[in-house]
């Protein structure tokens, strides 16, 4: 059985930080949706998009944790930060553009098939990516959680 001392400054800490940061982001999305929409939607736990970005929280938490353990001048930190930047760019760029395209295509399908979109396979998922603010909020959550995990939770 692993204890705190076995996790601190190891790959377990890095992995746990990334996974837990992503989970916290999903819980925050659920709570924000509940406050704004005033209804419970458990699908939020398994969907992409929304505030904050769980992808950003995970990869930035992971890379911050690597930096805290191996040093912010290490090759491992550089590699994990590069990975984080690609994921965040994808979330705010490519996946967001795909979501906007899905909105457009769904409208066209509604107009063309006169609201019988199910006959051609159903609607496309529209909430795929993130706004830059959602990505930044996820990244901030990842950094904060990595520091909490390293300096408080595992001590």
Round the CA-based radius of gyration of the chain to a whole number and report it.
19
Task: Evaluate whether residue 53 is within a structural domain.
Answer: yes
The whole-number pLDDT of residue 96 equals: 63
Q: HSE of 122 in the Cβ direction (CA atoms, 13 Å)?
A: 3
Task: Evaluate whether residue 61 is within a structural domain.
Answer: yes
Task: Evaluate whether residue 55 is within a structural domain.
Answer: yes
Task: Evaluate whether residue 115 is within a structural domain.
Answer: no
Task: Evaluate whether residue 76 is within a structural domain.
Answer: yes
What's the rounded Cα separation, in Å, for the pair 117 and 77? 47
Give yes or no for residue 128 having a pLDDT over 70. Answer: no
DSSP code for 53: -
Q: Look at the chain and report how many structural domains it folds into.
A: 1
The whole-number pLDDT of residue 54 equals: 93
The whole-number pLDDT of residue 35 equals: 93
pLDDT band for position 114 (50/70/90)? low
Task: Evaluate whether residue 70 is within a structural domain.
Answer: yes
Give yes or no for residue 127 having a pLDDT over 60. Answer: no
> If you write DSSP's letter for every residue of 1-47 in order, what string do you get?
---HHHHTTSHHHHHHHHHHHHHHHHHHHHHHHHHHH-S--GGGGG-
pTM assigned to the model: 0.81
Q: What is the mean pLDDT of residues 119-142?
A: 77
pLDDT tens for residues 80-113?
A: 999 999 999 888 777 666 666 767 776 777 767 6
Task: Evaluate whether residue 112 is within a structural domain.
Answer: no
Which domain does 30 fall in, by range? Answer: 4-93+129-153
pLDDT band for position 119 (50/70/90)? low
Task: Evaluate whether residue 124 is within a structural domain.
Answer: no
């Amino acid at each position: 059985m692993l204890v705190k001392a076995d996790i601190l400054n190891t790959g377990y800490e890095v992995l746990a930080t990334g996974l837990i940061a992503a989970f916290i982001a999903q819980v925050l999305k659920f709570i924000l949706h509940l406050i704004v929409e005033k209804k419970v939607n458990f699908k939020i736990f398994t969907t992409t998009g929304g505030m904050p970005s769980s992808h950003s929280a995970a990869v930035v938490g992971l890379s911050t944790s690597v930096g805290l353990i191996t040093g912010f001048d290490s090759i491992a930190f550089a590699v994990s930060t590069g990975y984080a930047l690609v994921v965040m760019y994808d979330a705010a760029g490519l996946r967001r553009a795909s979501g906007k395209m899905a909105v457009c295509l769904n409208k066209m399908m509604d107009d063309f098939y006169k609201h019988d979109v199910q006959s051609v396979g159903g609607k496309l998922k529209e909430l795929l990516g993130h706004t830059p603010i959602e990505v930044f909020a996820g990244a901030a959550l990842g950094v904060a959680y990595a520091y909490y995990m390293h300096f408080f939770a595992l001590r």
